[in-house]
Amino acid sequence: MKWLELFLRASTPTDRFVLGISAAGILSSGWLITSEPGKRAVVFRDNRPVMTLALDQDRKQEVSGRLGPVIIQVEQGRVRLLEYQSPRMIGTRTGWIQGAGRATACVPCGVLVRVEGKQKGSAPSSAHEFDAVSE
């Protein structure tokens, strides 16, 4: 109560107005930032989305591919396709993918996994990150 009295005595109406506005601004911008959805990966089968995986939950997910089941592994915000014996299985070549927009696929299975969203501002994390690799 003493503090409230002090506050009422010490602050002008303009003060209280500025306090309210700034608190509202700070809280709403904070809320906006935290309510931004977590990173997710979308699984496509023959270019049609079949499921969405949250990348903050480690798991192994089986999806049906053209040649049988394909296992998608999510771990520490990254995602990959598990080994499938085919030289055309690009997924095993790409390994873990993480950045928004990155994709990995098992071509003969018709399964593609793509991390949602746009690439972030400070894009390539290393000098070895290419726009594309010719192979």
Partner 1 sequence: MSGHVSGYLSIPPLRRDLLIAYLAAAAVTVHVLEAALPGPGPWFKPGLANVFALVAFLRLGWRGAMAVTLMRILAGSLALGTLFTPGFFLSFFGGCGALAMLALLRMIPSSGLGVVGISLLAALAHMAAQIVAAWLLIIGHAGILAALPWFLAGSWISGVLNGLLTYLLLEHFDRHHALLTEP
Partner 2 sequence: MKPWTRWLGWLGLFGLGMLFLLVSRLPGEPEAEPPLLETRLLMGTLVSISTWGVEEKQAEAAMEQAFAEMSRIEGMMSRFIPTSPVSGLNDAPRGAFHTVPAELISVVSKGLEIGQLSGGAFDIGLGPLSDLWGFSREPPPETPPAPDALKKWREERDRTPGPGIELASDNRLRLTGPAIGLDLGGIAKGYAVERAMEMLRQAGVVNALINAGGDMRIAGSKGGKPWHIGLRDPRKPDGVVAVMDLTGSKALATSGDYERFFMADGVRYHHILDPKQGGSSRSGLMAVSIQAADSLTADALSTAVFVLGESAGLALLQQFPGCEALLIREDGQMVQTPGFVATRSKTP
Contacts of 93 (CB under 8 A, 6+ apart): none
Binding positions for partner 2, 98-127, rule CB under 8 A: 101-103, 105, 107-108, 110, 112, 114, 118-124
Question: Between 6 and 35, how does the x/- string for binding to partner 2 read (CB under 8 A)?
Answer: ------------------------------
Total residue length of the chain: 135
Instruction: Pick the closer one to partner 1 by CB: 30 or 101.
Output: 30
- For residue 15, the minimal CB distance to partner 2 (Å) is 21
Q: Does 126 bind partner 1 (CB under 8 A)?
A: no
Binding positions for partner 1, 24-83, rule CB under 8 A: 26-27, 29-30, 33
In the chain, what is the straight-line distance between the N-terminal and C-terminal CA atoms, in Å? Answer: 73
Q: Does 40 bind partner 2 (CB under 8 A)?
A: no
CA gap 8, 13 in Å, rounded: 9
The three-state secondary structure class of 49 is: strand
Q: Which of 77, 89, 72, 60 is nearest to 116 (CA)?
A: 77
Q: Which of 16, 86, 96, 116 binds partner 2 (CB under 8 A)?
A: 86
Cβ count within 10 A of residue 102: 17
Q: Does 122 bind partner 1 (CB under 8 A)?
A: yes
CA gap 37, 107 in Å, rounded: 29
List the structure tokens of 99: 């950045």
User: How many residues touch partner 2 (CB under 8 A)?
Assistant: 36
Which residues contact partner 1 by CB under 8 A? 3, 6-7, 9-15, 18-19, 22-23, 26-27, 29-30, 33, 121-122
